[in-house]
Amino acid sequence: MFIARVVGDVVATHRHAELSGHKLLLLRRLNLAGREEGAELIGVDVIGVGVGERVLVVQEGNAARSLFKSPRIPAQAVVVGVVDRVDLMSGELPEDAG
């Protein structure tokens, strides 16, 4: 699992049948300074989040198959929570490090 920021929506009118009815999000991982880092990835939204929100992402195929109760779902990253706050030994993870 990791923390990410939703940086966009992905619109795909033609998609695998197992993804029908599920919103796709463009995500970027956050580091411990609260800054976005690395390449974007596409995740399936199962909780209803929007652009700009900090989210908890599980990135593992078996977790996606378990959540969707489908051995055929073509997803690896799934948004499973909204992050309200992260407490670190050094303080709180900044909400927006810009």
Tell me the pLDDT band of 98, cut-offs 50, 70 and 90.
Answer: low
Cα of 14 vs its chain's centroid, Å: 21
Count of CA atoms in the C-beta half-sphere (13 A) of 98: 0
Tell me the pLDDT band of 69, cut-offs 50, 70 and 90.
Answer: confident
CA-CA distance, 83 to 93, in Å (whole number)?
Answer: 11
The mean per-residue pLDDT over the stretch 65-91 comes to: 83
Question: How does the average pLDDT of the chain come out, rounded?
Answer: 87
- Two tokens, residue 88: 């670190």
- Two tokens, residue 19: 């993804």
The fourth-level CATH superfamily of domain 2-87 is EutN/Ccml (2.40.50.220)
For 52-64, write each residue's pLDDT tens digit.
999 999 987 677 7
- Which pTM does this prediction carry? 0.84
